[in-house]
Structure 1
Amino acid sequence: MFDNLSDRLESVFKRLKGYGRLSEDNIQEGLREVRLALLEADVNFRVVKDFVARVRERAVGREVMESLTPAQQVVKIVHDELVALLGGRNRQLDLSGRQPAVLLLVGLQGSGKTTTAAKLARWLLSKGRAPYLVPADVYRPAAVEQLRVLGERIGVPVHPTDTSRPPVETAREAVARAGLQGLDTVIVDTAGRLHVDEALMGELRDLKARLEPQEILLVADAMTGQDAVNIAGKFDADLSLTGVILTKVEGDARGGAALSIQAVTGTPIKFVGVGEKLDQLEPFHPERIADRILGMGDVLTLIEKAQATMDRRRAQELQEKLRKDAFTLEDFRDQLRQLRRMGSLEQVLSMIPGLGAQLKKAKGLMPDERELVRVEAIIDSMTPAERRNYRVINGSRRRRIARGSGTTVQDVNRLLKNYAQMAKMFKKMRKGGFRNLPQGMLPW
């Protein structure tokens, strides 16, 4: 989402570093570029004005002008102010008080509200909660069926909504049923409209009064830029929002909504949807987002993704196999699958400090996702004996594997050659490199 902004800011800071010692004129020139970069990213112009003023006030002070590394000090100031602009810290859901906790999801039609309800339920399930999904959009029968199907997919119960009844009655009945069934979190997916209107707001005010939810979360489409900020302002004025979930941030959004919502409405962003899959909802961490914008990577999120997708017992088994020189093509395939569960390669690599930016600059070096699919298909086309010992794969077997995987013999040869080189590297590392690895950690 922040690619263009990151590129622009990187060029500004590179120019500042070239000056060696900074003057007020250098800083003013750099801040003009920062201002333009933020405006191009569709950040609210008042927010940009205040942001640049705060940075300027600090940047022309003694901490920068008398520093041995003034350009780095400016980067630090911009980073600090970006964190503040984004809300300062991660804001967690309020699930305290009356149980079951009630989360009311509101927003316009097409913002991804129903899918987000399922994503949020899946996330809560992973945290040990027992969620209950409530389709309260009685005007769009497909929404009820959609949520039922999504609930089945993630293993979360869904309230059997009767579309002939008012949404308030349905929601109150659902909360009572959740309590009787021992479910501790009710997620109410409300009806959306094509635009904010009094009928929509009246219904939502009624739901708020009758349910007394702990959280009222606006689901907003990041692709709409400043419209998302305006919509947040209108919903907040009527409902006193407790948080925002930004969807579609993996698309071509410029980042203006994320950088403006907190400052304009005072409503914190609590989650971001980073993809279409039901596991692609992440808590919003202002400091980590600021790191990504400034090209510093996001190691903490990368570690959390790895912990969520990697099987610790399996990792320990693989480490033991590496020590014994018993790492097979089957193990290699399993590792590829776990890597793909963490997200796209581009997303994963962009979280490694410096690496994502370098790969983006060096066009053609970004790994091709389709190559991973081909590799997995080739390994799947092998027999168990071939996966355990690739040396038995002769010419006729290579042709059979290529036909079975829809690839070429050259593709099969390339995979086997790369695997043999990797096995040789592991053998060298085994003599000393693995001894110092923490328990359960693999060398890649």
Structure 2
Amino acid sequence: MFENLTERLGQTLKNISGRGRLTEDNIKDTLREVRMALLEADVALPVVREFINQVKEKAVGIEVSKSLNPGQVFVKIVRGELEAIMGQANEKLALSAQPPAVVMMAGLQGAGKTTSVGKLARFLREREKKKVLVVSADVYRPAAIKQLETLANEVQVSFFPSDISQKPIDIVNGAIEYAKKQFYDVLLVDTAGRLHVDESMMDEIKDLHAAVKPVETLFVVDAMTGQDAANTAKAFNDALPLTGVILTKADGDARGGAALSVRHITGKPIKFLGMGEKSDALEPFHPDRVASRILGMGDVLSLIEEVERKVDKDKAQKMAKKIQKGKGFDLQDFKEQLEQMRNMGGMMSMLDKLPGMGNMSEQIKEKANEKSFNQLEAIINSMTPGERANPDLIKGSRKRRIAAGSGTQIQDVNRLLKQFTQMQKMMKKMSGGGMQKMMQRMKGMMPPGGPGGMFPRR
């Protein structure tokens, strides 16, 4: 996400460094470039105007502090305004109501509404420790009801059955009564979508909202539609008292226009980002962390949270003990490390959250893609247990057999063995602390002034 915007802003903000003072003249060109970068990212024009005016007002005439050069002061201002546009801080769901807390999902067809219900259900069950019930009030698409039932089973939450012969209001009222009797904390309601905003759709969802009085009404919208996402959200917000937005398919949006426009145009916070197809690919939206990512400063705090949540601690501890006992790090361990990385969204997902990695070369990005991960796993899978435990055995004829078995070339096998040797050396250095040392190193990568970025908050 934000690759194009990060690249353009990174180049633009370099040009202003080295100045003794920020004046209207020497920031004029930079502001013009920033404006173009935002427009190319499909940020809504009113948002761009407001952003540029605020940056200009704060930047002009600021004296250079002793510890920062003007370029850094300007970046600090840009970062602060990016945060302000997106909402300053993450806003959690208000679930402290009398159980069950009813959360209604609204949005256009194809935005990822039903999938988001499944992801949110898993998020609430795993991270908020809530007992969750889901129900579909989409009586126009039988497939949507079946899809939600399948997702509920996958994420291990309860599903309240419904069918197309029922009225949406009756379905949800029935689900609420059941949730009360069975002591559910949260009821997630999936509603019908349309291919466009129409009057009958709005009337139906208004009636449903009035009848069930949800504590949260979340608008689900496709991030890849850019500023259209913000305009559609506004249309819904005019009809419904929305409490927040879920931006889906954010991992496929290289521009970021929706994320930067929604809050300003609707006045409603983005509460979650959908970052992939998997049921755990839902992230709380933190404006400060996203602003850091946009400016290439990384997002170490989110990375640490992800490591703590997704890394299998039992496996990590077993590996640490194995290395401490001098048994070494073998190719089976290497394969398990690759699987752990895949659980965290792959190498690219991790690299994007590290400071300074936003502008890394295409060559590095190419090497860190999913295809190369699959190739490494295929090569290791073609080895015998003995070869995985003792890589020194892998010589000429064995390399040819492994390459043929994995559909690769001998040089690919050689490359893997070289990467493994490097990883083995790193593991030896880390033995004795394992995961703790790794976490400390990651925390040490945080820039001065806190986890969010390079500067202390204003």
Name the TM-score class by shorter chain. over 0.9
CA distance in 2 between partners of 1:11 and 1:18 (Å) = 14
CA distance in 1 between partners of 2:112 and 2:433 (Å) = 46
Q: CA deviation at 1:436?
A: 6.2
Q: Which residue of 1 aligns with 2:48?
A: 48
CA distance in 1 between partners of 2:413 and 2:320 (Å) = 26
Gapped regions of structure 2 (runs ≥ 5): 443-458
Q: CA deviation at 1:256?
A: 1.6
Residue type of the alignment partner of 2:296: G
Residue type of the alignment partner of 2:133: Y
Indicate which of 352, 355, 360 corresponds to 1:353: 355
Q: Which residue of 2 aligns with 1:7?
A: 7
Could you tell me whether the CA contact under 8 Å between 1:59 and 1:74 is conserved in 2? yes
CA distance in 1 between partners of 2:364 and 2:18 (Å) = 25
Q: CA deviation at 1:23?
A: 3.1
Question: Cα 1:359–1:218, aligned 2, differ >3 Å: closer, same or farther?
Answer: same
The answer to whether the aligner puts 1:116 opposite 2:116 as a matched pair is yes
Q: Which residue of 2 aligns with 1:73?
A: 73
Residue type of the alignment partner of 1:290: A
Question: Cα 1:20–1:321, aligned 2, differ >3 Å: closer, same or farther?
Answer: farther
Q: 5 Å matches for 1:45-444?
A: 45-64=45-64, 69-127=69-127, 128-325=129-326, 326-360=328-362, 366-424=367-425, 426-427=427-428, 429=429, 434-435=431-432, 439=436, 441=438
Gapped regions of structure 1 (runs ≥ 5): none
Q: Which residue of 1 aligns with 2:455?
A: none
- TM-score normalised per structure 2: 0.90
- TM-score normalised per structure 1: 0.92
CA distance in 1 between partners of 2:344 and 2:12 (Å) = 32
Q: CA deviation at 1:377?
A: 1.8
Could you tell me whether the CA contact under 8 Å between 2:316 and 2:435 is conserved in 1? no
173-182 vs 89-98, greater mean Cα deviation: 173-182
CA distance in 2 between partners of 1:388 and 1:343 (Å) = 27
| CA-atom RMSD in angstroms | 2.3
Residue type of the alignment partner of 1:341: N
Could you tell me whether the CA contact under 8 Å between 1:138 and 1:191 is conserved in 2? yes
Residue type of the alignment partner of 2:340: Q
Question: Cα 1:132–1:425, aligned 2, differ >3 Å: closer, same or farther?
Answer: closer
Residue type of the alignment partner of 1:349: L
Q: Deviations over 1:96-134 (max 9, x none)?
A: 112011110000111111111111111111121121111
Q: CA deviation at 1:272?
A: 0.8
Q: Deviations over 1:389-413 (max 9, x none)?
A: 2234454444443343333444334
SS of structure 2 residue aligned to 1:250: helix
CA distance in 1 between partners of 2:420 and 2:65 (Å) = 53
Q: Deviations over 1:302-338 (max 9, x none)?
A: 1111112102222222222233332121111111100
SS of structure 1 residue aligned to 2:250: coil
Q: Which residue of 1 aligns with 2:23?
A: 23
Q: Deviations over 1:214-245 (max 9, x none)?
A: 10000011111222111111111111100000
SS of structure 2 residue aligned to 1:88: coil
Could you tell me whether the CA contact under 8 Å between 1:114 and 1:147 is conserved in 2? yes
Report how many residues are paired: 439
Q: Deviations over 1:184-238 (max 9, x none)?
A: 1111100011111221111111211121111000001111122211111111111
SS of structure 2 residue aligned to 1:104: strand
Question: Cα 1:422–1:82, aligned 2, differ >3 Å: closer, same or farther?
Answer: closer
- Identity percentage over the alignment? 52
SS of structure 2 residue aligned to 1:296: coil
Residue type of the alignment partner of 1:30: T
